[in-house]
Amino acid sequence: MCGGMALSSTHCLGAILRRMDRMIESLLLGTRWLLLPLYVALIASVIAIYVMVGRELVHLFGGILTLPESEMVLILLAILDLCLVANLLVMVAISSYESFISRIDIADETAKPEWLGKMDSGNVKLKVSLSIVMISAIHLLRGFMMNTETEKLVVMSGVHMVFVLSAVLLAVVDRLGRKSH
């Protein structure tokens, strides 16, 4: 007897294995929801960036009449850097959610960012690497403007070049992969 019906042992075993397959597949697919708290943490991190931008704005407006131009540029670079990081966090959280957890369906299509639904993991990796290059360039420029010691600037430049090279290689590999499909 298999499930109340008289079936051969082969049929019964096959039915049990199919049911186990479905349960395992459901469990594996369900684990994608374990990623959700990580994406929420990325979005929540943007709040910390708001605080840091606020701190920079207080510094900027608190001394706007007395700040030297170079100091003002450094503050603006810090704000730009924080904005890029915030963009990166939101982009990764949203595109990862859509790629790995669930499609985002918005009734009002005008409220949907243009890139949403068009970014695969290759595009996300490329955008992340380009954002890292931009952030690294800002840090390098800030270091130069703050008269950082030459040895440290050389190290920062080397790290920046590694980021640039990685982004270029990632773009080439992505392009070759798209051509082969």
pTM of the complete model: 0.75
What is residue 112's predicted lDDT score, i.e. its pLDDT? 74
Cβ contact 97:36 at 8 Å: yes
What is residue 124's predicted lDDT score, i.e. its pLDDT? 81
Confidence of residue 179 (pLDDT cuts 50, 70, 90): confident
DSSP 33: G
Residues ≥6 apart with Cβ < 8 Å to 46:
86, 89, 90
Q: Is the pLDDT of residue 76 over 90?
A: yes
Domain ranges of the chain: 35-180
